[in-house]
Amino acid sequence: MRLEDLKGQYPKTPDFISEMIEKEVEKQVHTQKNVRRSRKKKKVWTLGRTATAAAVACVLIGTGAYAAVNAYRNYHMNLQQQGSYSVVTGVTADTESQTTEALPDQIADVRIETSYIPEGMEWKDERHLDYINTDNKGGFSIDSVLIGDGNLEEGLTDTSVEESEQTIFGEHEGVYLKYHTVQTDTHFNQRIYLLCPEEGRIVTMYIGSDVSKEEAYKVAEGITLKETGEMVSTGDMWDWNTLVENENAALAEGDGSELPAYDTVVTADKLHIYTMGEEIYKDGYLTEDAQGNQTAESKVSLKVDSVQVSDDFSLLNEAYIPDEWKDRLDENEKLKDNEATYVKCGDGVDTLDEVVRTESFSAKLVYATLTVTNHSDQDLENIHYYIRLSLLNQTDDGYQEKDYMNQSGEDYDYVQWDGGLNIDGGMQYYDSQSDIGKNYISSLAAGESTEVNVAWIVNEEDLGRMYLEVSGYGASLNSPNADPIQLVDVRQ
């Protein structure tokens, strides 16, 4: 997923469609809004589209561009405290006017590098420095913006900050922030802003809780911007003012992380409920023929053969056990209880989120075996599947979906769960994977069938509420959808 999907300590309803397609990308969709990033509409900018050194700008795009970049040499980064837990990071100039010269239309491209990499880490791509063999749950995500060509008086406000420091990182002025959170699993709870005046850029480092402050400082001290030899349009880049405007607006609006106002009850006419063993045709599956042509009417069927419940991982293929489950077994190789933390929200300025109480729930593994069949007269490739587990209570008006996240009471505002529970219903374990991505069947010959196994961890008390959503949408049942959602009754 994306930097804008990183969020703070308040839970947010996840983007299941994105999870289907890019589950491995920026998997912080269940973490913290403090590192959530808004994006300019229809303009996606990666770290490879950053700034050039001033001398290179002078050679490639003329003295006007050089003057604009050179003007930033009098700029400095500063930090101001507002309230007990809110800070404002700003950029100021030595001169009375903070207005720089206009940016050129194009600027040289650079990439961000560091001379120090913590032991056990490697670059996963041009902006992610992660621990080897992890599932993109922490480490470093690095982004940057232009300093810009306008007035820089307004600063960037961050809340729920429990530690802050203005300092020098190597050759760059910067600010370090650590956010307060009640989460116990890996998440992004630290940030460093670096001012790079020679390149006219501000670099932002989003840092996981699996990284110590000392290691974060060492990486920041080694940051440099290297030329790539290419030119890019400044119109496709964000500047500091745009970043501040969007971040501060999101903060004023509650950061957009509130749960959507869907109806709590799904009427029966929006659901088509099957029993185990019934064959369900999936003409909407995205598949390809042997020539690589996508076909919408693939004549693929799916049926749920069995559902087993266990208190250990003996049913699973060890190669496909997700990282977040690696610590879910106790010393006897049995599932640990699921832990719920009940939290009262603070305002992030004078008060912080407070843990009211914790509660344990007996956990069970739910393991489903399904058969996928190609009924067409041609071989198919890259058959996508997505099976979602829904917890439903039948009501007089239809079905009400139980939401582990959207809960509140007299003394708490939300519940934070540990890393093992199936919070959103999305597939956690699946053993049929292809070269193009997970939850794909590489190939299926005409008339051929294959087995798919999926699994979730749930609270034992919810075994009697379980339905498998096989529509392939991957969305919550309360999400708007024109077609009836296909469910299989797997209640135990």
d(CA 138, CA 28): 8
Instruction: Count CA within 13 A, CB hemisphere, residue 189.
Output: 22
Max intra-chain CA distance, the chain? 76
pLDDT tens for each residue of 444-460: 899 999 999 999 999 99
Region label for 349, one of left (φ > 0), alpha (ψ between -120 and 50) or beta (otherwise): alpha
**Per-residue model confidence (pLDDT) at position 19:** 39
Is the pTM value of this prediction over 0.95? no
pLDDT tens for each residue of 77-135: 999 999 999 999 999 877 665 555 567 788 778 889 999 999 999 998 888 999 887 65
Percent of the chain surpassing pLDDT 70:
74
Task: Give which of 286, 288, 303 is closest to 449, Cα–Cα.
Answer: 303
Window from 181-190, 324-333, 386-395, 479-488 with minimum mean pLDDT? 479-488
Q: Per residue in 68-87, is it b (16+ CB within 10 Å) or e — as a string?
A: bbbbbeebebebeeeeebbb
pLDDT tens for each residue of 402-451: 888 777 888 899 888 887 787 888 888 988 777 776 778 888 899 999 99
d(CA 453, CA 449): 13
Query: Looking at the predicted structure, is the pLDDT value of residue 45 above 60?
Result: no
Task: Identify the band that residue 44 occupies on the pLDDT scale cut at 50, 70 and 90.
Answer: very low
d(CA 28, CA 15): 11
Q: What is the mean pLDDT of the chain?
A: 78
Q: Which residues pair with 46 in a beta bridge?
A: none
Are 358 and 425 spatial neighbours (Cβ–Cβ below 8 Å)?
no
Query: Looking at the predicted structure, is the pLDDT value of residue 168 above 70?
Result: yes
Question: Is residue 396 packed enough to be buried (19+ CB in 10 Å), middle (13-18) or exposed (0-12)?
Answer: exposed
pLDDT tens for each residue of 231-260: 888 888 888 988 999 888 888 876 444 444
**Per-residue model confidence (pLDDT) at position 327:** 87
d(CA 391, CA 395): 13
d(CA 449, CA 444): 7
